[in-house]
Structures are given as structure tokens and as C-alpha cells.
């Protein structure tokens, strides 16, 4: 709770950024992201771009798990579809003679749309089954999508096991051939996604999602069509993941099917749980942790190991353990995630020096 947050008009109450803290934070972050490409070194840009891509995906996962309460363990499949759409669409456009400068403007929306459609198909079981059954249904979808990508019959389009080279984005003649330029695009789209989703939860649709999360049968009694809103929720989250996938394909020179396996789905869920489910800032905090943990491990192993290959080989298992432990520790001790810890901090700051807690 934030006190001193009085509103004099309805318009003020309905704003997306409805208090000074949010405004300050969002404008501050926007300034920081705008300044970053000019001041940061390559390493920081790389990490920040990775964060941006995963952030877009986790925001999508948040819609379906955090707000609609449908447990999904297969969202890496949508990222895969978004990512693989890009090289396929680019070859298609090239054969149709579309100029290269406007390809991304067509390819990104199409990739997002394809992901959303697949999302609707994967979401279909959510009408019949709930909770666990849905988790396994989405998990199955993830395995099936990866299998189809690796299938020999699809190899001419997807490259099969060996992956496929991805094109660079060319925005009206501006070739985004460095990671710094890609970062600008990723940051802009990440802001759009996160504000768009935040905006969604001021509307009828977002409230319907939350009603379904609280009790789906009660929501249905209140006149919310479960069919429409559950599928819509899946479509929106799949669209976000598709966008993340499309940016992933533009950002890296090559994509491999193994990058989109269960590990990635679990990473998305880990980020969401660590950050805080059903909160706008949850994905942001979660993604910072999930991306920073491997980097910190890399750094600390570099110091410990020096150059020894034996110690360095232990980094991957340790990283896995840390991810799992993060999920478990947060679920056991702070199920509402970092957002809750931050909230608590802000609350005591806000009331200082009077009450605590």
C-alpha cells in the first residue's frame, strides 16, 4: 500500500502509471535504456539485451500463470515458433521479392500472429482440464513442437538438429548488425510489451482473467465466457513469447532447437516465481535474477578456477542447482517473490519514522 496517493479525477485514477513512484520508475528506466547504448560496453549490452528478450517472454508467461491462473510449463515452444518463423518468413519474402528494409515490419507481426495461433491450439485443453493436467498438456506441446522442428522432413525449413542461420533485421535500410543496435529495438519493444500488458489489467479483459484465476466456475456464473478468455489469455501470452522469439532470432546469428527445450520453459517459470506472480514488476525482478545468476557464476568460477578446466566443468551443474534452489527457496519462504520484498521496503520507507511493517 502506498499512502498519500489521492486522486481528484477519474482520469487520474485510470492512468496506467497511476502514481508518482511508477512514473518515476518507468521514466527513469526509459532514460537509462536510452542512454545505455551510448555509454555501456559490449558485455553490458549483451546482458541487457538477453534480459530484454527473456523479459518479454516472462511478461507473457505472467499473463497466463500469474493473472489467469493456468499453469503452463511449455512456453518455450512459443518462443521457438516465434524464432523459427523469422528465417522461414525471410526466405519466403525473399522469394516474393519483398524489399529487405520492410521485411522485419512484416515478419515480426506475422511471427507474433503465428505464435498466438499456436497458443490458441495449445490452450484448447485448458477448457477441459485444469491445473496439473494443463501443465502436462503444455509440457507435451513443448516436446512435440521441438520434435517437429527437429524432424527430418522439416529440415529444409528449420535446419533440423543443427539449427539454422538467422537473418539480420533491416529497418527501412537501417541494418541492425550490431548487438548495440539490436538492444535499442529490444528495449523499445520490451517497454511496449510491459506497458501493454499493464494496460490490459485496467480493462474488462484483464479483470476477466483475474476473475478466472480466483475461481473459474464463479467467473463463468458471473457471465465471463471461459472459452473466450482462457484462449485469449493463451493467445496473448503466446504472442509475447513469439515476439521474444522473433527478437531472439534477430539478435543471435544462429538458433538451435535445443535452446528451446524444457530448460527454457523452467527458466521462464523460475523467473516468474522469483519475481512474483501476478504483479507487473514480478517479471522484471525475476529476469534480472535469472540472467544475472549465470553471469555471476561465470565470474566467480573464473576467479576460483583460474584456468582449470575441471573446476570450470562444474559451472553448468552448479547453475542448474542454483536455479532449482531459487524456485524452491522462494516458494517456501517468500511465495509472493521479490516484488513483495520490495513492497515491504517501500512501505516502511513511506511510513518512516512512524510505523514499521
Partner 1 sequence: MGQFVQFTLNGLLAGTIYALIAVGIVSVYKATRVVNFAHGYMIMFGAYFYYTFAVLLPGLELMPSWLAKWEPDWLIAARENAPMFSPMGAVLDWVSNLPRIIFGITGAVIACAILGRMIERMLMRPMIGQSSFAMIMITVGLISVLSGAKGLIWTADAAFVPHIAPNAPVRFELFGNPVFLFGADLANAAIAVILFTAIVLWVRYSKGGVAIRATAEDQQTAYSMGISVPAVFGRAWVLAAATGAIAGAILATRNGVSPSLGLFGFSVLAIVLMGGLDSYVGVFIAALMVGFLEAMAQWQLGGEWAEVVPYIAVLIVILIRPHGLLGQKEVERI
CA 329 to chain centre: 22
- x-or-dash string of contact with partner 1, 114-133, rule CB under 8 A: ----------xx--xx-xxx
- x-or-dash string of contact with partner 1, 265-284, rule CB under 8 A: -x--xx--x-----------
Least spacing, CB of residue 324 vs partner 1, in Å = 3
Pick from 69, 63, 78: nearest CA to 120? 78
φ, ψ (nearest 5 deg) of residue 255: -120, 145
Nearer CB in complex with partner 1: 62/166: 62
Strand 174-175 and strand 170-171: pairing? antiparallel
- x-or-dash string of contact with partner 1, 165-204, rule CB under 8 A: ----------------------------------------
CA pair distance 60, 12, nearest whole angstrom: 27
Pick from 292, 232, 230: nearest CA to 55? 292
Q: Where do we find the cell 516502511?
A: 348
Q: Give the footprint of partner 1 on residues 303-342 (CB under 8 A).
A: 313-314, 316-328, 331-332, 335
- x-or-dash string of contact with partner 1, 71-110, rule CB under 8 A: x-x-------------------------------------
Which of these ranges, 38-46, 56-64, 135-143, 280-288, lies near partner 1 under the rule CB under 8 A?
135-143
Q: Verify cis geometry, omega within 30 degrees of 0, for the bond prior to 227.
A: no
Q: What share of residues in the chain are helix, strand, coil (percent, to 5)?
A: 75, 0, 20
- 118, 78 Cβ separation under 8 angstroms: yes
Strand 164-165 and strand 170-171: pairing? unpaired
Nearer CB in complex with partner 1: 171/293: 293
Which of these ranges, 138-146, 206-214, 225-233, 283-291, lies near partner 1 under the rule CB under 8 A?
138-146
Pick from 312, 309, 263, 313: nearest CA to 290? 263
Per DSSP, the residues of 208-242 read HHHHHHH-HHHHHHTT--HHHHHHHHHHHHHHHHH
Work out which of 35, 151, 222, 304 binds partner 1, going by CB under 8 A: 151
Could you say whether residue 218 binds partner 1 (CB under 8 A)?
Answer: yes
- Residue ranges that bind partner 1, judged by CB under 8 A: 71, 73, 124-125, 128-129, 131-133, 135-137, 139-141, 143-144, 147, 150-151, 215, 217-218, 221, 262, 266, 269-270, 273, 313-314, 316-328, 331-332, 335
Amino acid at each position: 500500500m502506498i499512502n498519500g496517493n489521492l486522486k481528484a479525477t477519474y482520469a487520474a485514477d485510470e492512468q496506467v502509471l497511476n502514481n508518482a513512484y511508477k512514473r518515476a520508475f518507468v521514466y527513469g528506466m526509459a532514460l537509462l535504456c536510452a542512454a545505455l547504448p551510448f555509454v555501456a560496453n559490449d558485455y553490458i549490452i549483451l546482458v541487457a539485451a538477453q534480459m530484454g528478450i527473456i523479459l518479454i517472454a516472462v511478461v507473457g508467461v505472467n499473463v497466463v500463470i500469474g493473472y489467469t491462473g493456468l499453469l503452463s510449463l511449455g512456453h518455450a515452444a512459443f518462443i521457438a515458433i516465434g524464432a523459427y518463423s523469422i528465417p522461414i518468413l525471410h526466405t519466403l519474402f525473399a522469394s516474393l521479392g519483398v524489399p529487405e528494409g520492410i521485411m522485419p515490419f512484416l515478419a515480426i507481426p506475422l511471427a507474433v500472429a503465428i505464435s498466438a495461433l499456436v497458443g490458441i491450439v495449445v490452450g484448447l485443453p485448458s477448457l477441459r482440464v485444469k491445473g496439473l493436467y494443463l501443465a502436462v498438456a503444455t509440457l507435451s506441446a513443448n516436446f512435440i513442437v521441438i520434435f517437429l522442428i527437429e524432424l527430418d522432413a522439416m529440415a529444409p525449413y528449420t535446419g533440423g538438429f543443427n539449427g539454422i542461420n538467422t537473418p539480420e533485421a533491416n529497418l527501412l535500410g537501417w541494418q541492425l548488425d550490431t548487438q548495440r543496435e539490436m538492444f535499442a529495438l529490444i528495449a523499445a519493444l520490451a517497454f511496449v510489451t510491459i506497458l501493454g500488458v499493464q494496460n490490459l489489467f485496467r480493462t474488462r479483459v484483464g479483470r476477466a482473467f483475474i476473475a478466472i484465476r480466483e475461481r473459474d466456475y464463479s467467473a463463468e456464473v458471473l457471465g465471463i465466457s471461459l472459452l473466450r478468455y482462457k484462449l485469449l489469455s493463451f493467445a496473448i501470452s503466446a504472442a509475447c513469447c513469439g515476439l521474444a522469439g522473433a527478437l531472439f532470432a534477430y539478435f543471435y546469428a544462429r538458433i538451435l532447437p535445443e535452446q528451446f527445450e524444457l530448460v527454457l520453459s523452467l527458466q521462464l517459470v523460475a523467473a516468474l516465481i522469483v519475481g512474483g506472480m501476478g504483479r507487473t514488476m514480478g517479471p522484471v525482478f525475476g529476469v534480472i535474477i535469472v540472467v544475472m545468476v549465470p553471469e555471476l557464476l561465470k565470474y566467480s568460477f573464473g576467479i576460483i578456477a583460474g584456468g582449470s578446466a575441471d573446476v570450470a566443468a562444474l559451472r553448468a551443474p552448479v547453475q542448474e542447482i542454483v536455479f532449482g534452489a531459487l524456485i524452491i527457496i522462494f516458494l517456501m519462504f517468500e511465495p509472493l517473490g521479490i516484488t513483495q520484498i520490495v513492497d515491504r521496503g517501500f512501505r516502511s520507507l513511506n511510513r518512516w519514522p512512524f510505523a514499521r511493517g
